Structure 1
Amino acid sequence: MHSTSQKPNAGQVRPDIESSWARSRLSGLCEDDKPSLARGPVARDGGLARAAGPVLAQARAELADTAMTLVLADREARLLSLHSADRSMRDAIDGMGITPGAGLGEDRVGTNAVGTPLETREPLMLRSHEHFMEAFRRFDCYGHPVVHPITRRLEGVLNLGGIRGDEHGLVPPFVRRMVRDIEERLLLDATRHQQRLLAAFQEASHNPRRRVLVVGHGLVLATPPALSLLEPADHAAVQACVEGTRAKGGATHRLPLLSGRTVTLRCTPVEGADGVLVDIVPEEAGSSRASGKRAALGWPLLVVGEPGSGRTTEARQAAGRDASTLDAMDVLRQGEPDWITGMTELLAGEGPPLIVENIQLLSEPVTALLATRLRHTRRRTALTSTPGEHLDKAHASLVALCNARRDLIPLRRRPYEVPRLAERMLADLGAPGRPRLTADSLRVLAMQPWPGNLAELRRVIQTVAGARTAGDIVPADLPASHRDAPAPASPFRQAEREVIVAAIEAAGGNKLQAARALGVSRSTLYNRMRALRIS
């Protein structure tokens, strides 16, 4: 086995490799780290594996007398398959833990010919000394992204490599040919899927009154009654619902339309195809659910939601326009004695409803005093708070007093509402040229994670409206931070994100405490936060 090479000086490094090294360091990695090849589930029978199977079989026969290693990884940089006919090469790879299911993401092992092409969407010939981690510097590798020819979605990476110093001049054209063959088979597979989607649509549309859509990658079919019911923003909202259905095996959603009507979406995956059939059922105007009337309120009312989720708006809608406001944030400015005096005066007599904002900021003594005053006040009172363990501990006495509670769902959990909200926010700005968001822009907005919830969405719309005062707002007009449509997150990644966000909130924003609570290192927590776009 060859000895590892020395890392070159900065002036000898290609710009794309230097950028990758910088990203590796930002992920908390060190050159002499032992590779962290965590294993995860892979779709061995997914579209990429099906399309690549015959191509890989042919390539294995062609590589039978070489010491080359052929690797196929999915879009998460997890290895789907790995082949090497050379025993010494297999032993070296196995010794490093490189086996099917292992993750080679750039944020886990630094610059490499799987994770880096996924990061840049560009093919990469990586010489041994250009790997970030010392452990990989015995190999020369070439990685080429596999892109779906219809959806342009990044499906994975095909990688071919060998021991440093061997002659690998023909590797790039060989891999490019294989990638082209895989993409052609993906196209054929997509065509079969589209035929199944078309058959499902034709069967569902026999009833001319049925409002139905079929949504798949690169294909949307709709009956005339469905088209007449939906506006562009509604189409983006429906597609957001569909993305969450594919992983669940079917779902039902209740969706308010831009017209003011409310419909029920009955989403059913189409058998044998990557698509969903959506039945749209309008609610009757006189039904109790469609009436929009709120249930009778109990007082005090507790409104719980993440920052930016609309806690104040919800509390004001319940309490009325004449409600007074008392904000716990003012304790820092006024001091506890003055704040307590003002709170006592407001709750002592009768008057309009009172909203007490941000109770999560109150100390336990002030919380106990506020709870005492609430027991005896005649004023209707609404409290607002962030979610977290404090509601069961430090502020449990206030929670127990509330006869009604509303938990606001984060915007990331209701992407189907984003198009309607974005359209409404843009209209409220009253731009003289009446700009409009295109369906593509609404779809991109619906797929963002929105850690800042409604407040973040409002800032984005204000930015867009300031830059374009007339005409169509296309995805390129969106801020760079919100311009790309990320791949739909898996249920596992969505759950992982929720767990991390909850841990950070419970730790009061302290990342080190959150990492300890989760049982991981701080660098691992930061890596996952970056991967899951947690700000």
Structure 2
Amino acid sequence: MGVTGGPTSPVRSRERFLLGESVQGAVRGPILNSWIRSRMLGLSPEQTDLPYTDDFDPDSRLVRAAAPVLDQLQSRFSGSQMNISLADGNGTVLQRRFGEPALAGRLAPIQSVPGFVFAERYAGTNGIGLALAERRLCQVYGAEHFAERSQSNACSATPIRDQFSGHVVGVLCFGYPRSYEDPALPVLVCRAAESIERRLMEQSSARERALLRTYLDARLRAGAGEADDNGRLIALEELTDGGLDLQDQMVLKAQATELISNPQRAAVEVPLSHGRGVTLLSSPVRSLSGVEGVVVEAVLTGDSPPAHHLAASKPTAAALGALA
């Protein structure tokens, strides 16, 4: 997508949006939705500052897992204007790597120093913030950025998940000049994020790894292998794509937690809003190492096509661990 010229270019569409005109059909859906959220938050495209904090752990599990991967990426992009950033689940940048080391000295602190917060509610539409909001790979080109200071750049960003809990714990983002577009970048950023996720899993305890293996085995036995998303776990709070609002999620979480706390086979019908419903099916599982857990399959019904999600947790867990 170009950034100049034409009635449907991001520049023209963005101008129409800021003037209060409809731009549906001219802008990609996730970008338009993010612009709307940014405007509702009262953000200004001319805004140049972001929240900054030095209250983060520079040696966290995420940083330790990501460090070797970031080093490899820096070597791969050596000599280029690539700006690689690692952010936590709140959008705070924890680490930066540059293809050209001197680039760090030429960029403004907001683009070169860890500690700035790029969550959408502060920075508007940007790679890190959009990846956190959409919970998936996102690309933002030129004038698709809400802030004018970022409109000469493009980025590809994807969430990093804790494979055990399914929660999004960070974001890996490639930032680069708009002219440096490469179709291979989205694939590369996803593979790098998967490497970080594997390294995070290696830091988990033997009990956690055993429970995850048992969960995945039970998932395959349940016949959901064809519908899985490459084994990626998705937290209950992320089931917005299936039309589940916050109230629905809370109802499901409470019922699933009750099933997990009572490790036996059960089937429970749970009514949801908008005429939808869900059947929760729980089954106890036990690994070879003796770790016990519960797998819960949620079968959504109603206006949308059925969707199957599986959950696993220790029987004593206070809340639903993860869905896939």
Q: Which residue type is aligned with residue 52 of structure 1? A: A
Partner of 2:26: 12
Q: Which residue type is aligned with residue 8 of structure 1? A: R
Mapping of residues 69-84 of structure 1, within 5 Å: 69-84=83-98
Structure 2-normalised TM-score? Answer: 0.59
Mapping of residues 319-330 of structure 1, within 5 Å: none
Mapping of residues 300-379 of structure 1, within 5 Å: none
Structure with bigger gyration radius: 1
Partner of 1:194: 206
Q: Which residue type is aligned with residue 105 of structure 1? A: A
Deviation at 1:195, TM superposition (A): 4.5
1:438 to 251, 255, 261: 255
Question: What number of residue pairs does the alignment pair up?
Answer: 224
Structure 1's unaligned 5+ residue stretches are: 199-215, 220-418, 423-436, 444-460, 478-535
* RMSD between aligned residues: 3.8
Are 1:163 and 2:177 counterparts? yes
Aligned-partner Cα distance in 1 for 2:119–2:298: 28
- Note if contact 2:34-2:125 (Cα within 8 Å) is conserved in structure 1: yes
2:124 to 105, 110, 117: 110
Q: Which runs of 4+ in 1 moved over 4 A?
A: 3-6, 195-198, 216-219, 461-464, 470-477
Aligned-partner Cα distance in 2 for 1:471–1:113: 35
Aligned-partner Cα distance in 1 for 2:50–2:64: 28
Partner of 1:124: 138
Mapping of residues 502-521 of structure 1, within 5 Å: none
Alpha-carbon spacing, 1:439–1:98, altered in 2? closer, same or farther (3 Å): same
Partner of 1:179: 193
Aligned-partner Cα distance in 2 for 1:218–1:152: 14
Mapping of residues 218-297 of structure 1, within 5 Å: none
- Note if contact 2:161-2:169 (Cα within 8 Å) is conserved in structure 1: yes
Aligned-partner Cα distance in 2 for 1:4–1:86: 28
- Note if contact 1:4-1:137 (Cα within 8 Å) is conserved in structure 2: no
Deviation at 1:73, TM superposition (A): 0.4
Structure 2's unaligned 5+ residue stretches are: 14-22, 215-249, 261-269, 283-296, 301-324
Structure 1-normalised TM-score? Answer: 0.37
Write the deviation string for residues 484-522 of structure 1: whole angstroms up to 9, x where unpaired.
xxxxxxxxxxxxxxxxxxxxxxxxxxxxxxxxxxxxxxx
Alpha-carbon spacing, 1:442–1:137, altered in 2? closer, same or farther (3 Å): farther
- Note if contact 1:438-1:472 (Cα within 8 Å) is conserved in structure 2: no
Q: Which residue type is aligned with residue 104 of structure 1? A: F
Are 1:140 and 2:154 counterparts? yes
Deviation at 1:218, TM superposition (A): 10
Deviation at 1:105, TM superposition (A): 0.4
Aligned-partner Cα distance in 1 for 2:280–2:73: 51
- Note if contact 1:151-1:217 (Cα within 8 Å) is conserved in structure 2: no
Alpha-carbon spacing, 1:80–1:218, altered in 2? closer, same or farther (3 Å): farther
Q: Which residue type is aligned with residue 440 of structure 1? A: T
Q: Which residue type is aligned with residue 11 of structure 2? A: K
Aligned identity (percent) is 26
Aligned-partner Cα distance in 2 for 1:111–1:68: 20
Aligned-partner Cα distance in 1 for 2:155–2:276: 44
Alpha-carbon spacing, 1:152–1:38, altered in 2? closer, same or farther (3 Å): same
Aligned-partner Cα distance in 1 for 2:170–2:152: 24
Aligned-partner Cα distance in 2 for 1:22–1:442: 39
Alpha-carbon spacing, 1:13–1:88, altered in 2? closer, same or farther (3 Å): farther
Mapping of residues 53-72 of structure 1, within 5 Å: 53-72=67-86
Aligned-partner Cα distance in 2 for 1:442–1:106: 35
Residue aligned with 1:8, SS? helix
Deviation at 1:438, TM superposition (A): 3.2
Higher helix content, 1 or 2? 1
Deviation at 1:14, TM superposition (A): 0.6
